[in-house]
Amino acid sequence: MLFYVVVMRKNTSRLPATVEYQLFAYYVVLNRGCDIDKPRNPAESITAERCTGGNKIMAIHEECGIFGVMSTKKENVAGIVYYGLYALQHRGQESCGIVVNDDGMFSSYKDLGLVSEVFSKDILSNLPEGTMAVGHVRYGTTGGTTRNNCQPIEVNHQKGKMALAHNGNLSNALELRDKLELSGAIFHSTSDTETIAYVITRERLTTPSIEEAVSNTMNLLEGAYSLVLMSSAKMIAARDPYGFRPLCYGKTPDGSYVAASESCALSAVGAEFIRDLFPGEILVFHQNGVESRKEHCGKKKKKTCIFEYIYFARADSVIDGVSVHGSRMRAGELLAESYPADADIVIGVPDSGLDAALGYANQSGIPYGIGLIKNKYIGRTFISSGQNERLDQVRIKLSPVKSVVAGKRVVLIDDSIVRGTTSKRIVKLLRDAGAKEIHMRISAPPFLHPCYYGTDIDSEENLIACHHCMEEIAGIIGADSLGYLEVEKLSKLIDSVDYCAACFHGKYPTKIPTDLCKDRFERKLSERG
C-alpha cells in the first residue's frame, strides 16, 4: 500500500492538514483490517482521569459473595454461613468475614485470606450460637486489601446495631462519600460498603424501621448493589433496581431462611431454592416469616451483568431462571457457528471455559477432551493484581495433558482475553506440549470499555482489544486463529435482552462517574497531586 506523507509548512492552515491526517489514519485502519465504524480506543469522554494529573485509568471495582441466614432457633449459625461462603469462594479470595447475632449482641471475625484459611475450627467454635448471621467473601480493588476493608461492616448507632455485606459497585459512591465527609462523617475504610452503611444509618435515625431506612437509601444509590444486612431483630436482603448483581433466597427443612449471591450456596447448606429477588426488591426476614417490599421494583429496566453468566458465577448456579451452565454451553455453540475450525479436538480452559468447550464440541462435531488440568488451590488469574503474579500463577495453575494435545489441531476455548498475557502463556503451554495448531475461541466479546458496576477489568490502555484487531491479537498470543462471541449474540445466552454489556459495547445504563479517586487515602502524598 502506498502512503503519502503530509508535511505542514509554518503558514499552512491547520484544518486542511487535519483532514489529510484523518484520511491517512483512515487508510491505515483499512489496511490493518479493522472496522472503521467500531473504534478500538474509546473516546476520552467516557474515560476517568486519575487525580494525579490526568493519567487515564478505569474505574476499579469489586466482585464479592454475600450470605445470610435467619434461623428459627438458636444454633451454630456461623457454621451455616461458613459453608455458604465456602460455596461462594469463587466470587472473592482476598478476605472474608462472619458476624453472628446472639439476641442483639454481635460477635464477628474477619481477616484476609480464603474461607478455609481464615476460619479454623477453633475460631468458628469461639463464635457464639445465635439466630442470625451474615457473611462475606471479598474480591475488591475499590479499597485496598486491608483488614479495614473486610466485610461485613458493623455499625453501632443510636437505634441499635447493624452488620452489612455488599456485592457490587456504586457509580456515585465518591459523590455520596464527599457529602458525608463534609457533614462530619469519619470513614474507617475505602470501600463502597461503608458509604452505604453510613447512608442507611443516617436514614434509620428518622425512620420507624430498618427496612424503611434501606428503602430510603435506595433512592440515593446509583449502580450495582446486592445487600444482606442484619439488625438486632431482622435480616434484610435487597437488590438494586437494575438487578446488576444476583441475589436469591431459600429455606431449609427446619424453616430457616437463607439469602445468598448464588443458588449454589443454598444447595451447600441444604436449603431449597425459592426464587431470585426481583430487581429493586427488599426482603425482610423476621421470626414470623418474610415480607417483600417492591416500591423500587419496575423503576429501571433490568440490566443483569452478562458476565455473571460468562465468567463470575459458578456453573451449577441458576440466575434469574437461567442456568449458568446452559448459557455457557450456548456460547460455545454460537462460537462454533460463527468461527468453525478444522481441528481434531476441543478443549477448555478450566473452569469457566469448560462448559463453552463442550458446547462448541457438540455443535461442531469435533471431539471434546480434557487438555488442561487446573491446580484447584490457585486463585483466578483474571482477578490477580500484578502482571508478574498473573504469569506466575499461570505457570503453576495449569498443566497441559500431552497425550491429549500432542500432534493435534486444537480448538482452545476460554471465557475472555483482557490483556492477552495469560492467553499467550496458555497457548505456549500447549505448543510446548506438542499441539500442532491452536485455534482460540472466546466465549465473550472483546473488552473495550470500563465497567462501573463491579467487573474489575484493566485500564483501557492495557486492554488488548482497544489497540489491536482480532487477527493481530491472534498473532500476539501465538494462536493460529481467533474468534470472539459477537456482541449481537449475547442475548441468545439467556434468551433475553435484559442485561448489561457496557464493558463490551459502551452503552451504560447509568450516569458515568467523572471522578473515580476512591483510593486517595491509600496513596502517598506525592501521588495524590
Alpha-helix residue ranges (DSSP H) falling in 170-260: 173-182, 192-204, 210-218
Catalytic (active site) residue 64:
yes
In angstroms, the CA 493 to CA 325 distance is 10
**Going by C-beta distance under 8 Å and a sequence separation of 6 or more, which residues neighbour residue 98?**
78, 81, 82, 85, 108, 109, 110, 119, 127, 133, 134, 135, 152
The set of cell numbers assigned to 130 is 445465635
- Burial-class residue 272 by CB neighbours within 10 Å (0-12, 13-18, 19+): exposed
In angstroms, the CA 394 to CA 125 distance is 36
In angstroms, the CA 413 to CA 441 distance is 5
Helix-then-strand count for the chain, H and E: 18, 25
3-state secondary structure of 223: strand
Q: Which is the catalytic residue, given 51, 64, 466, 469? A: 64
Element (H, E) at 336: helix 324-338
3-state secondary structure of 364: helix
CA angle 229–320–98, rounded 5-degree value: 25
In angstroms, the CA 78 to CA 86 distance is 12
Is beta strand 248-251 parallel, antiparallel or unpaired with respect to 257-260? antiparallel
Is beta strand 322-323 parallel, antiparallel or unpaired with respect to 398-400? unpaired
**Going by C-beta distance under 8 Å and a sequence separation of 6 or more, which residues neighbour residue 505?**
445, 448, 449, 487
In angstroms, the CA 413 to CA 256 distance is 41
Provide the annotated active-site residues: 64
